[in-house]
C-alpha cells in the first residue's frame, strides 16, 4: 500500500466487468467529478474488474445507454479480469452480488474487513450516524485527524466493525446482461441509488443535491 495521503482506491467487481461493475465505476466517477455532483473526486481512485472477465470489452450497450442518460461517458471504458493483486491494493472492494464477494474471500479470506457487496455496505453505513463518519479518535501522524481519501475509508471501515451487516440476497444487484433495456434500467437505478448512499461516506464529503436522475427504488432491485 502507498503511504497515507494518496487517494482511496475503490474496486467494483461483478462477473464479466461489462455491466454492473463497469457501470458502477463509470457512474461513480461522473457523480464525483461532474459540476454540481457529489464532489470528492480527489479523494477517490475508481476501478472495476470481473471474476470471469475478459480484457478490452466495451460496456454492454444497454448499460452504456443508461450511463449516457445520466450524463456519464462510457466510451473509454474497457473490461478487465480480476486479479488478487487488485484486491490486495484496493482500500474498499464492492461487489455486485454475494457470490462475487465469496469468490474473493475464497482466495483471500483475511481481507474480509474491506470486502462488501455494494448493497451490504449501503445498509451498514445507514446504521452509522452521518455525523460520525470515522472511528472515534483516529488521527494521523501529526496528531490531527487524517484527511486523505485512504485514511477516511480506513477510519470508516474500522468504525463499521460494531455495525456490520452480513450480506443478504436482497442486497444482490440483478444481472441485466442479455435481458433488455428494462432490466438494464432497473439495475442502473439500483446502482445509482446505492452510490448516492455510499460515496459521500467514503469520501467524507457531505451529500449535495445533484440532478442525476431518481434514486433507486429498493422494491425494483429484484424485478425480472
Q: What is the pLDDT along the chain (224 residues), one digit of tens a residue?
A: 334 567 889 999 999 999 999 999 999 999 998 766 666 677 789 999 999 999 999 999 999 999 999 999 999 999 999 999 999 999 999 999 999 999 999 999 999 989 999 999 999 888 877 665 443 333 333 333 344 445 555 666 665 655 556 677 888 999 999 999 999 999 999 999 999 999 988 887 654 444 434 333 333 333 33
**Helix H segments across the chain?**
20-33, 61-69, 84-89, 98-107, 118-126, 149-159, 180-203
List the grid coordinates of 154: 480506513
How many Å apart are CA 201 and CA 219, to the nearest integer?
24
Q: What is the dihedral of CA 113, 118, 120, 126, to 10 degrees?
A: 100
How many Å apart are CA 96 and CA 117, to the nearest integer?
6
Answer yes or no: are the C-beta atoms of 96 and 21 closer than 8 Å: yes
**Where in the chain are the domains?**
8-135+146-220
Find the distance separating the first CA and the last CA of the chain, reported in whole Å. Answer: 41
Residue 171: which of 73, 64, 96, 92 has the closest Cα?
A: 96
How many Å apart are CA 89 and CA 66, to the nearest integer?
30
- Count Cβ atoms within 10 A of the Cβ of residue 85 and give its class: 0-12 exposed, 13-18 middle, 19 or more buried: exposed
| Radius of gyration for the chain, computed over Cα atoms and rounded to the nearest angstrom | 16
- Domain 8-135+146-220, what fold? Rossmann fold (3.40.50)
Amino acid at each position: 500500500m502507498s503511504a497515507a495521503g494518496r487517494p482511496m482506491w475503490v474496486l467494483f467487481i461483478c462477473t464479466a466487468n461489462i455491466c454492473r461493475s463497469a457501470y458502477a465505476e463509470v457512474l461513480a466517477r461522473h457523480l464525483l467529478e461532474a459540476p454540481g455532483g457529489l464532489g470528492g473526486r480527489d479523494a477517490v481512485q475508481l476501478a472495476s474488474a470481473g471474476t470471469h472477465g475478459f480484457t478490452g470489452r466495451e460496456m454492454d450497450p444497454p448499460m452504456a445507454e443508461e450511463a449516457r442518460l445520466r450524463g456519464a461517458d462510457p466510451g473509454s471504458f474497457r473490461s478487465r479480469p480480476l486479479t488478487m493483486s487488485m484486491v490486495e491494493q484496493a482500500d474498499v472492494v464492492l461487489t455486485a452480488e454475494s457470490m462475487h464477494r465469496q469468490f474473493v474471500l475464497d482466495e483471500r479470506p483475511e481481507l474480509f474487513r474491506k470486502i462488501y457487496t455494494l448493497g451490504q455496505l449501503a445498509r451498514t453505513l445507514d446504521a452509522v450516524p452521518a455525523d460520525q463518519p470515522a472511528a472515534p479518535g483516529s488521527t494521523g501522524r501529526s496528531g490531527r485527524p487524517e484527511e486523505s481519501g485512504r485514511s477516511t475509508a480506513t477510519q470508516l471501515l474500522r468504525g463499521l466493525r460494531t455495525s456490520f451487516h452480513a450480506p443478504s440476497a436482497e442486497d444482490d444487484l440483478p444481472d441485466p446482461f442479455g435481458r433488455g433495456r428494462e432490466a438494464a434500467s432497473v439495475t442502473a437505478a439500483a446502482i445509482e441509488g446505492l452510490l448516492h448512499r455510499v460515496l459521500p461516506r467514503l469520501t467524507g464529503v457531505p451529500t449535495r443535491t445533484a440532478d442525476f436522475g431518481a434514486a433507486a427504488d429498493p422494491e425494483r432491485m429484484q424485478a425480472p
